[in-house]
Amino acid sequence: MYDVTIIGYGPVGAMLAALLGAKGRKVLVVERDTDVYPLPRAVHMDHEVFRLISLVNADKAVMEISRPTSTYDFETADGDLLMGFAPPKEPAPTGYPWSNIFHQPTLEKAIRADVERHPSIEVRLGVEFKSYDDSAADHVKVSLSDNPDAPVETRYLVGCDGGRSPVRRQAGIGMDDLDFNEPWVVVDVLLADGMDVLHEASRQICDPRRPVTSIPIGHGRHRWEFMLLDDEVERDMTTKENLERLIAPQLPEGVTMAEIEVERSAVYTFHGVFAEKWRDGRVLLAGDAAHQMPPFLGQGLCSGVRDAANLAWKLDAILAGDASEALLDTVQPEREPQIRFITETAIGMGQVVCTHDIEQAAARDKEMCVGKREDRVNGMPPLPPVEAGGSDTPNAGLPLSKDAGLDTAAPYQPILILRSKGDAPASSSVPDLHVAWLTGEGALADKDGFLADQLANASALLARPDKIIFGTGDAAELLAEYARYLRADARMAA
């Protein structure tokens, strides 16, 4: 019997597997393809997700091929600035740059390398999920293409099987469609030797004749995304001729098509959709299977990695007998509001970008291009905190700042941070709790003072294994509240 069977070995399935593997859980991963997805997808990752992938030792490999975003500019057809977003130059409290451009296959391979370290994980590539039977009370039978007549048995089944999610379909879970459907052709190119980037900023060129996204991935790679016009939707827009026709006008002066090699291309329709529920008994959904958004904020994969981090420790705690199964009902209410906010913001940005009515675009440009250009540049919009399960104390729901020593000592477990060792409660009913303190003998280094800032004026801070701050306040009260959260008492009483 497997503890958890994961359908789909994309970034979300891999992240979930690696986190469960680190807890020694018996995991089966089923993936119908034999290698990582080859077509162009995510290029942007925020600092929080860098922090999360550091838990599965994937941050260094990704950092080597990534570059911090300088600015994210929305431009008119003639290059004026509609709006710009500039992340701070100094690192975020997580220790990573706020906003990063990266290469998705490198990330997927790095997480898979971590999965391979765990003997308790079995990965079956080239095998397709067929169906499941969840009629038993304590497990699910899963039928796979490599042996359809001998279903595997698993305590929990998680569909990390992408936008079309066969698991979601079998569960009969409906979709809430936000009615944003825009077809784009996406192209990654390799630049000639010695060329790192074509330009510095990540650009949305809001030309009503053809909206274009142009992103310097760095390390000799560049991404273009071209919105398709009505008469192009049914045509093959990935032919060499069509791609050249689209790319050539975008090349900076002095660069020719001879210096560009198309690496990969694909047509996607960008959507905003949500699965109506992310749990049906022992069957769960995460990542694109549960929600999809247009890529204008570069947050689809980021959101899925956060789902995996939220889900893995809860599954582990339930399997260990340390938490009630009702804890699984916290995943969607904690994750969905943040993802809806991001999706709705991305759709709003998409509506600015995707205008192809010349008059509407002229009115938009007139309305937005007012005042000095530099006054139209803002900081990156912060993500709203997630619901963390505890009381609404300062910093609850925000990610815990990184402290290298603390991450090594307690990579994926609850952490109690005290002002001083003397603030420790006499006992705790929270399993696997790691206790650390900021002053006195054996104190954390807290090199940049970020943890002290997050503690604010409280004597204790409790963080969940997914590095989300549960709350700040009195240590004994926080621990009692967390123990109730694990047992789901608070929700049953509500």
Ligand X SMILES: Cc1cc2nc3c(=O)[nH]c(=O)nc-3n(C[C@H](O)[C@H](O)[C@H](O)COP(=O)(O)OP(=O)(O)OC[C@H]3O[C@@H](n4cnc5c(N)ncnc54)[C@H](O)[C@@H]3O)c2cc1C
Least Å from the CB of residue 357 to ligand X: 24
Nearest in space to 377 (alpha carbons), one of 99, 75, 46, 68: 75
Rounded Cα distance between 95 and 91, Å, is 6
| Binding-residue pattern over the window 89 to 128 for ligand X, x denoting contact by CB under 6 A | ---------------------------------------x
Rounded Cα distance between 86 and 95, Å, is 18
**Is the four-CA dihedral 169, 171, 172, 177 of positive or negative sign?**
negative
Return the number of the residue (199 or 487) whose C-beta is nearest ligand X.
199
Return the number of the residue (324 or 351) whose C-beta is nearest ligand X.
351
Least Å from the CB of residue 102 to ligand X: 8
Nearest in space to 258 (alpha carbons), one of 189, 358, 335, 343: 189
Return the number of the residue (37 or 450) whose C-beta is nearest ligand X.
37
| Binding-residue pattern over the window 208 to 227 for ligand X, x denoting contact by CB under 6 A | --------------------
| Binding-residue pattern over the window 280 to 309 for ligand X, x denoting contact by CB under 6 A | -------xx------x--xxxxx-x-----
Instruction: Give alpha helix (H) positions in 354-443.
Output: 358-368, 404-409
Return the number of the residue (301 or 327) whose C-beta is nearest ligand X.
301
Q: Among residue numbers 252 through 271, which ones bind ligand X (CB under 6 A)? A: 268
CB neighbour list of residue 352: distance below 8 Å, 6 or more residues apart: 74, 82, 83, 204, 206, 364
Return the number of the residue (141 or 421) whose C-beta is nearest ligand X.
141
**Helix, strand counts (H, E) of the chain:** 13, 26
Return the number of the residue (218 or 300) whose C-beta is nearest ligand X.
300
Least Å from the CB of residue 139 to ligand X: 19
The site for ligand X, by CB under 6 A, has a size of 33
Least Å from the CB of residue 34 to ligand X: 10
Return the number of the residue (178 or 479) whose C-beta is nearest ligand X.
178
Least Å from the CB of residue 412 to ligand X: 19
Least Å from the CB of residue 225 to ligand X: 6
Rounded Cα distance between 494 and 404, Å, is 38
Return the number of the residue (162 or 216) whose C-beta is nearest ligand X.
162
Least Å from the CB of residue 329 to ligand X: 21
**Residue in the block written with tokens 């034999």:** 34
Q: What angle do CA 290, 291, 297 make, to 5 degrees?
A: 150
Return the number of the residue (186 or 475) whose C-beta is nearest ligand X.
186
CB neighbour list of residue 182: distance below 8 Å, 6 or more residues apart: 227, 269, 270, 294, 350, 354
Q: Among residue numbers 121 through 180, which ones bind ligand X (CB under 6 A)? A: 128-129, 160-162, 166
Which residue in the set 4, 21, 28, 31 belongs to the binding site for ligand X (CB under 6 A)?
31
**Radius of gyration, alpha carbons of the chain:** 23
Q: Among residue numbers 3 through 22, which ones bind ligand X (CB under 6 A)? A: 7-13
The whole-angstrom distance between residue 427's C-alpha and the CA centroid of its chain comes to 36
Q: What angle do CA 432, 437, 442 make, to 5 degrees?
A: 100
- What are the tokens at 427? 């006992």
Rounded Cα distance between 74 and 297, Å, is 12
The whole-angstrom distance between residue 194's C-alpha and the CA centroid of its chain comes to 32
Return the number of the residue (13 or 397) whose C-beta is nearest ligand X.
13
Q: 3-class SS at 104?
A: helix
Return the number of the residue (327 or 346) whose C-beta is nearest ligand X.
346
Least Å from the CB of residue 163 to ligand X: 6
Least Å from the CB of residue 335 to ligand X: 13
**Residue in the block written with tokens 């700042």:** 401
389 lines the binding site for ligand X (CB under 6 A): no
Contact (Cβ atoms closer than 8 angstroms) between residue 438 and residue 422:
no
Least Å from the CB of residue 294 to ligand X: 9
Q: How many CB atoms lie within 10 A of CB 377?
A: 15
Least Å from the CB of residue 413 to ligand X: 24
Return the number of the residue (166 or 350) whose C-beta is nearest ligand X.
166
Residue 93 C-beta-side C-alpha neighbours within 13 Å: 12
| Binding-residue pattern over the window 411 to 440 for ligand X, x denoting contact by CB under 6 A | ------------------------------
| Binding-residue pattern over the window 33 to 62 for ligand X, x denoting contact by CB under 6 A | x---x---xxxx------------------
Nearest in space to 426 (alpha carbons), one of 480, 488, 490, 482: 480
Least Å from the CB of residue 121 to ligand X: 16
User: Which spans of this chain sit near ligand X (rule: CB under 6 A)?
Assistant: 7-13, 30-33, 37, 41-44, 128-129, 160-162, 166, 186, 268, 287-288, 295, 298-302, 304
